[in-house]
């Protein structure tokens, strides 16, 4: 009787794992291929060879780009080199990427930048907040941008029990921001189990010096996050659920869900078009190719544009798609007055004219 019980439980467990693996293939679009779509003029950006995971563009046209992310389970073409922040001036006719110097006193050797967000203070000082993974942990680094010197001055490191496994960040005030947690567990094998079982334990967290709290939860893997132009709504991507959550922001910083926009692709970082309020989304058309990297069959790239976000029927269009022959693993797309930057988790970056 005992052996029968053990065999029954074993069989049920194997059946559950099998069902979850099939579901994982569906959630990652493991069989999907993309047809090429390209704006009229695009070229690779010289100097960005090891990723451009997130991009934030100031109203002035200066674009900050995080590069060199080392992320568990993802390839890295420069595993022994520290991460960097690059700057591009999109007002130039032929903008180039320039690595920013970082002030002494900051551990540059372990710099591992992920999501980024800028904040402009009342005195026009620009601050850059960076999700950092030194030694595979999570912190938020606050820098002051020195435009004349083209440098970053490190001001402080922010840590908190709720700021673990961070992915992206959007800053809305002096040291007031929302951030996404993309995995509940920090152990790699438990993360794999979490992904396979689709536990949906990740969340959006609000941080201020006086209060830190979870403000939206139930995500499969909370990823990119941004804010509407009028600062009334937060948009948060759930990468393996293939959707964007539209959340209303309240005066106490709480969030309530308005709706969910399903995209049918693994959506990564989100940005707002400063001219139209449209959402630009860097996406992974086939997540399995991203997780199991094969240079002979690399992960492709896809950029979606979502117009009329708050309407009953938002318009979703594909603005860029490539099978990996040009750009692998797109993670972000950011527009500025007819120009578009497309970044990747670990590969190159693209500059396009719309």
DSSP track, 160-187: -TT--SEEEEEEEETTEEEEEE--S--S
pLDDT score at 69 = 98
Residue 225, H or E segment: strand 222-227
What's the CA gap between 340 and 110, in Å, rounded?
30
- Catalytic residue list contains 133: no
What residues in the chain have per-residue pLDDT under 70?
1-20
Which residue ranges are tagged as binding site for Ca(2+)? 53-54, 116, 167-168, 223, 268-269
Cβ neighbors of 276 (< 8 A, separation 6 or more) are 307
What's the CA gap between 142 and 153, in Å, rounded?
9
What's the CA gap between 150 and 57, in Å, rounded?
15
What's the CA gap between 47 and 301, in Å, rounded?
20
Which residue ranges are tagged as binding site? 53-54, 116, 167-168, 223, 268-269
- Domain 32-353 of CATH type 3.40.50.150: no
Residue 148: Cβ-neighbour burial (10 angstroms; 0-12, 13-18, 19+): exposed
User: Do strands 84-89 and 98-99 pair parallel, antiparallel, or not at all (unpaired)?
Assistant: antiparallel
pTM exceeding the 0.85 threshold for the entire prediction: yes
**Euclidean distance between the first and the last CA atom of the chain, given in angstroms as a whole number:** 69
The residues spanned by each domain of the chain are 32-353
pLDDT score at 345 = 98
Q: Please tell me which residue in 43, 114, 262, 284 is annotated as part of the active site.
A: 114
pLDDT score at 32 = 94
pLDDT score at 13 = 55
pLDDT score at 196 = 87
What's the CA gap between 241 and 247, in Å, rounded?
16
In this predicted model, what pLDDT tens digit does every residue of 252-295 receive, in sequence order?
Answer: 999 999 999 999 999 999 999 999 999 999 999 999 999 999 99
């Amino acid at each position: 009787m005992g052996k029968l019980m053990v065999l029954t439980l074993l069989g049920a467990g194997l059946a559950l794992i099998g069902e979850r693996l099939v579901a994982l293939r569906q959630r990652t679009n493991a069989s999907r291929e993309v047809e090429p779509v390209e704006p009229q003029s695009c070229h690779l950006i010289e100097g960005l060879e090891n990723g451009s995971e997130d991009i934030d563009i100031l109203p002035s046209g200066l674009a900050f780009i995080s590069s060199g992310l080392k992320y568990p389970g993802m390839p890295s073409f420069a595993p022994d080199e520290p991460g960097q922040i690059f700057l591009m001036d999109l007002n130039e006719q032929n903008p180039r990427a320039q690595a920013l110097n970082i002030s002494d006193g900051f551990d540059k050797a372990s710099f591992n930048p992920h999501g980024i967000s800028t904040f402009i203070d009342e005195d026009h000082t620009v601050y850059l907040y960076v999700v950092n993974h030194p030694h595979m942990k999570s912190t938020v680094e606050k820098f002051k941008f020195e435009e004349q010197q083209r440098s970053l001055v490190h001001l402080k490191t922010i840590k908190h029990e709720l700021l673990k496994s961070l992915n992206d960040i959007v800053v809305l005030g002096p040291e007031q921001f929302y951030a996404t947690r993309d995995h509940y567990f920090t152990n790699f094998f438990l993360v794999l189990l979490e992904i396979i079982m689709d536990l949906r334990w990740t969340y959006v967290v609000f941080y201020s010096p006086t209060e830190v709290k979870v403000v939206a939860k139930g995500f499969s893997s909370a990823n990119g996050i941004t804010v509407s132009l009028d600062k009334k709504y937060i948009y948060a991507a759930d990468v393996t659920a293939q959707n964007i959550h539209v959340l209303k922001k309240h005066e106490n910083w709480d969030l309530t869900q308005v709706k969910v926009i399903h995209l049918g692709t693994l959506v990564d970082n989100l940005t707002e078009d400063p001219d139209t309020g449209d959402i630009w989304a860097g996406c992974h058309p086939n997540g399995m190719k991203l997780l199991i990297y094969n240079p002979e069959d690399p992960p492709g790239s896809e950029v979606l544009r979502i117009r009329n976000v708050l309407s009953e029927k938002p318009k979703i269009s594909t603005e860029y798609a490539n099978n990996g022959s040009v750009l692998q693993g797109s993670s972000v797309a950011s527009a500025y007055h007819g120009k578009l930057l497309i970044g990747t988790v670990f590969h190159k970056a693209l500059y396009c004219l719309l």
